[in-house]
Amino acid sequence: MKVTLLDVKGAPNVSKDVAGGFGTRFKAGDSFRARLIERAKKGIRYPQLSLAYMAAVFKNGGHEVEYLENKVPTDADVVIMPSSIVDFRTEIKYADEIRKSTKAKVGFIRPFASLRPELYKDHCDFIIKGEPETVAVEISKGNFPQGLVDSKPIPDQDSIPFPNWDPFPVETYSYKPSLNKTPFLPVLTARGCVFSCGYCPYPVGWAWRKPRTPENVIEELKYLKEKYKIKAVMFRDPIFSRFKPRIQQLMDLMIKENLNLEWGCETRIADLDEELLDKMRKAGLRSVEVGVESFYEHIIKDENRIPVSIQTQEKIVKYCEKIGVKVSAFYVLGLLSDTKETIEGTINYAKRLNTFAAQFNIYTPYPGTPDFERAK
């Protein structure tokens, strides 16, 4: 069987492996300065981890796997496409063309298609809801699903095969300017999130359970270094340093193995301290991304998010700068309790915090989140 993993994009600066798999499109504006910012943003070229995990499942099943971008496959038996909230019209267009011109079965993955199946169901054979590996194993055995099918998460994350990047253009991926070395690839050490912030899409597509062991993560890093010669990685866990003893153990192993990798992570400022940052820096940390969201505690609390004091935020940001770790801070404008004045206050705070990068997201009530029901 030949499996095509197809990623289609109808606009520039679309990334489908962020926002919990719903995807985003970065648009800074139409001015000369905005175009410069968008050009800088192109240094971030992210592969889709879900597709690489599926590639591993199908390769292990003895099947031929190819990866294509914006191209209709000619001889595939099954085509699997990631869905997104930002580019679903393009995805549907390609699905229609594939079904019209080939005999391939067409399926969609990622949360948007499974939460809005009415947009996709007439344009495909199946939609995989949840983490895709369990259903991918069944497809590998020749058991093709029909309609919306639930893919149960694999309880033991150490048993999931490492992503197979052979079909992908690894040499084109990068995370500049936060991480300047290439080849670069993402790594996921824990799926899901222990929190339930009202606006956050991360818990929608990934179920939280016991994370991978540090030893298993080290084996993947060594595998990526040996097979793909990587020099940089981005840990894609929503809150990388949530369980400090586990991360301290992972850092000790990375230092012991002398992996010599430059890496970054997403985490929560409250789950960092100077001692842990020192160890992470020694292990190769060069970039950390944190969600500030809003300057105002009452707005944070209204989203069922645990606020972090301004003093703690400023302390950790200054210490990161001191030890040579770049900080990128994320903000959300237009949260349900926001006003024009609080939005301006958040922007002013971002200026004061003055991190290496600041990203302002427009509040979006993603399907499947508590805020989606509130916003309705």
Q: 180 with 231, same domain? A: yes
Q: According to the model, what pLDDT value does residue 60 have?
A: 96
Q: According to the model, what pLDDT value does residue 245 have?
A: 94
Q: 143 with 181, same domain? A: no
Separation CA 11–CA 72 (nearest Å): 17
In order of 46, 181, 228, the CA distances from 332 in angstroms are 22, 29, 36
Separation CA 299–CA 370 (nearest Å): 15
Q: According to the model, what pLDDT value does residue 13 have?
A: 81
Residues of the domain holding 35: 2-150
- Last residue in a domain, options 150, 180, 215: 150
In order of 61, 203, 251, 327, 362, the CA distances from 247 in angstroms are 33, 21, 6, 19, 32
Strands 105-109 and 78-82: parallel
Q: Is residue 162 part of a domain?
A: no
**Which residue from 285, 195, 227, 201 is spatially nearest to 21, judged by alpha carbons?**
201
DSSP state of 212: P
- The tally of domains found in the chain comes to 2
Averages of pLDDT over runs of 10 residues in the chain (376 residues) are: 95 85 85 80 84 97 97 96 95 97 96 96 96 95 95 93 97 92 96 89 84 97 97 94 94 96 96 96 97 96 94 97 97 96 98 95 92 89
Q: Is residue 156 part of a domain?
A: no
DSSP state of 271: G
Separation CA 201–CA 212 (nearest Å): 22
Q: Yes or no: say if 249 and 203 are a contact pair by the CB < 8 Å rule.
A: no
Q: What is the pTM of this model?
A: 0.94
Q: What is the CATH number of the domain that holds 56?
A: 3.40.50
Q: According to the model, what pLDDT value does residue 40 have?
A: 72
Q: 214 with 361, same domain? A: yes
Reading the block at residue 306, the tokens are: 């645990």
Strands (E), 163-279: 174-175, 184-187, 232-235, 262-267
Q: Is residue 120 part of a domain?
A: yes
Q: Is residue 183 part of a domain?
A: yes
Q: What is the CATH number of the domain that holds 311?
A: 3.20.20.70
Which helix (H) or strand (E) segment holds residue 51: the answer is helix 49-60
3-state secondary structure of 284: coil
Q: 280 with 131, same domain? A: no
Greatest Cα-to-Cα distance within the chain, rounded to the nearest angstrom: 60
